[in-house]
Structure 1
């Protein structure tokens, strides 16, 4: 595992952790003004949600990852319901990736714009992602580009975009409503079909989906040769080269999924 904050002195709003049977990656979604309605912050939410979810995945093997994610969302929301405005549209939220070994199969879950790559023994990598936020955002791109960043009009368009969060026809994140877990992309496959898996926050998946520095087979080859730190190093170089603001970047590379 490797995780790097966007910049020095900036709280890393990503979380990743693993047990012998499960791995979790959480990418906290920070929005300006969050600190005014939640005294804990996005990094707290991400690490709290990740810790609760990882514990549930390990201790409650009979329930589905989506059901356990719903329970984790409810637990963390209860942790700050009395002190923070959890229902506010800008309260802390996060994307989620889950991998779990269960009865000879690998179960997975993706909620939001983080990415899971399953390295298959006899086929091309299977990339599991949730495109809904990207699709919704495209419809607002021209309006944002036509305004001055930071202006009242710019923020008005942003509010319209964010109003699509956790709404039918919009996109879904872990936040205060456990029903968002029902919208996650889920699946499973036999362990025997896989040689590994990679969980990436969208700050790390930029190597493919933004900067086009490699395809997913190439990313797997880099990971095998040099580890996840090299992926983040190449992303940081590309961000500097293209003057793109850095993002928190996190990778969990699972190279031994166990026996079928």
Structure 2
């Protein structure tokens, strides 16, 4: 199996709040939710994403939902003594996780991150753009995640994307998902981001494609079997 990763900040004036994980049996993309000025936390969203990512790797042997719940609990403990974790705008992330274990691919999506699985029978696209639940200070939020599993022998390739990268397909319509996977197979996930950035620059005032962020942090993890 071959795994490739690409990530790029949405602005040159601020660091990306996306994070990507590639572990022995686990892939993940974390997309930090843009912080409001008053969020009850003295740490940045990037800090929270870093802590959560580290905790997820530590418990990567567990099933994705259980691993994320434990990781949320542990990350919360790291700043419970200094920050108001009950604040509604406390740092959080949208997250996509894929675990490969025991000849099964298991996936989890919480928030507007995306998992795309190309199998021998179908193309499965998983994202939650309606409820906008994210992983923050409460492990109970993980109960709202979309989860599933697929026999590994049926899987051809997989992509995990933050919403800033998925907009290449679901906002700009540069490709459909199958074409996006073909592009990444041929040129790597960085080419998808490159082509999307070109469109963003052409529509710098968000006229042709109305959007809240002219350019967003974009991260892709791509696995090809």
Judge same fold: TM > 0.5, yes or no: yes
Map of 1:228 onto structure 2: 189
- Structure 1 segments (4+ residues) deviating >4 Å: none
* 1:29 pairs with 2:28: no
Residue number in structure 2 paired with 1:174: 135
Distance 1:238 1:47 in 2: 30
* Structure 1: runs of 5+ lacking an equivalent: 134-170
Cα deviation 1:102-142 (Å, max 9, x = unaligned): 2110011000000000021x233211111324xxxxxxxxx
Alignment-derived partner of residue 210 in structure 2: none
Question: 2-side partners of 1:9 and 1:132: how far apart?
Answer: 30
1:108 corresponds in structure 2 to 107
Are 2:9 and 1:40 equivalent residues in the alignment?
A: no
1:79 equivalent in alignment to 2:78: yes
Q: Is 2:23 the counterpart of 1:16?
A: no
- CA apart distance, 1:81: 0.9
Q: In 1, Cα distance between the equivalents of 2:146 and 2:32?
A: 18
Cα distance in 2 for partners of 1:131, 1:14 equals 17
Partner of 1:68: 67
More strand by share: 2
Aligned with residue 128 of structure 2, among 104, 124, 130: 130
CA distance in 2, matches of 1:90, 1:181: 17
Q: Deviations 1:41-82 (Å, cap 9, x if unpaired)?
A: 00111121112112211xxx3x42111111100111110111
Contact 1:26 1:97 in 2 (8 A): yes
Contact 1:114 1:201 in 2 (8 A): yes
**Aligned equivalent of 2:7:** 3
1:38 is paired with a residue whose SS is coil
Q: Deviations over 1:78-107 (max 9, x none)?
A: 101111122111111101111111211001
**Secondary structure at the residue paired with 1:196?**
strand
- Select 2:59's aligned residue among 56, 68, 75: 56
Per-residue CA deviation, residues 228-249 of structure 1 (Å, 9 max, x unaligned), is 1111111111112222411000
For normalisation by structure 2, the TM-score amounts to: 0.91
Aligned partners of 2:196, 2:41: CA distance in 1, in Å? 31
Give the distance between the partners of 2:19 and 2:171, measured in 1 at CA. Answer: 22
DSSP-derived class of the 1:113 partner: coil
Gap runs ≥5 in structure 2: 207-213
Higher share in helix: 1
Match of 1:118 in 2: 117
1:126-205 matched pairs, under 5 angstroms = 126-133=124-131, 171-205=132-166
Contact 1:29 1:93 in 2 (8 A): yes
Q: Distance in 1 between matches of 2:67 and 2:32?
A: 18
1:24–1:54 CA contact under 8 A, matched in 2 = no
2:157 is paired with a residue whose SS is strand
